[in-house]
Amino acid sequence: MRARVGLACLALSLLPGLAVAEPAAEFSGTLVRQVDSRRHQAQVFAKGDRIRLEYKYALKTDYGYAAIEIIRLDKAETWYLLAQRKELLVTPVDADDVLPVRPALPGEKERVLVGDATAVGRPAQLFEVQTDRNGRVERFFEWVDVETGIVLKLVSRDRSWSVEYERIRFSPQPDYYFDEPPGYKKRASPAGPGVRG
């Protein structure tokens, strides 16, 4: 997994092949990703099948710096806003770098309820989950919000990386957060953005 918060931090449960029983909760929050000793932070806004990430430190792409990333699963696209160039760098969503907000993880093979827990000050259920993606077996601890079913925290079993909210607030999010910004020109990048974290 990449060392950036971006796509690797989260996305909604509408990835191809994942069924959605009910619409995802709308929320905002501060998301922190730790990889080894490196800490990355972003403000997150989520609505349905869309997510907006506003990074504390901009991501460097092959085309410039992007402080905002918009994930549009309805279009299977990720947009990086390159403010200096007034461009919207459009890349396909990479399912290997996306963790769902909903509990089902891509390639999930086993899920065991460990018990009741708390994450971000909210009642949660703690699970141990095993996945197998392209022959790579991984184990995780996953804290799932009891009320909304949203993943509040995900930690690799070896503790080499984690993704968790420091703050989360469930409330309606404006549609325009997830729209193309006016005056930006689209730039397609089928090979990906060349993000360096």
pLDDT digits (tens, 9 = 90+) for 139-154: 999 999 999 898 999 9
DSSP label of 20: -
N residues, the chain: 197
Q: How confident is the model at residue 177 (pLDDT cuts 50, 70, 90)?
A: very high
pLDDT at 115 exceeding the cut of 50: yes
The pLDDT > 70 percentage for the chain reads: 81
Distance, CA of 165 to CA of 72 (rounded, Å): 21
Under DSSP, is residue 129 helix (H, G, I), strand (E, B) or coil?
A: strand
Under DSSP, is residue 175 helix (H, G, I), strand (E, B) or coil?
A: helix
Residue 191: what pLDDT? 67
CA 20 to chain centre: 17
Backbone angles phi, psi at 118, to 5 degrees: -135, 140
Gyration radius from the chain CA atoms: 16
Residue 15: what pLDDT? 37
- Work out the average pLDDT over 177-183: 94
Q: How confident is the model at residue 105 (pLDDT cuts 50, 70, 90)?
A: confident
pLDDT at 40 exceeding the cut of 80: yes
Residue 148's contacts (CB-CB under 8 Å, 6 or more residues apart) are 25, 27, 170
- Work out the average pLDDT over 77-96: 88
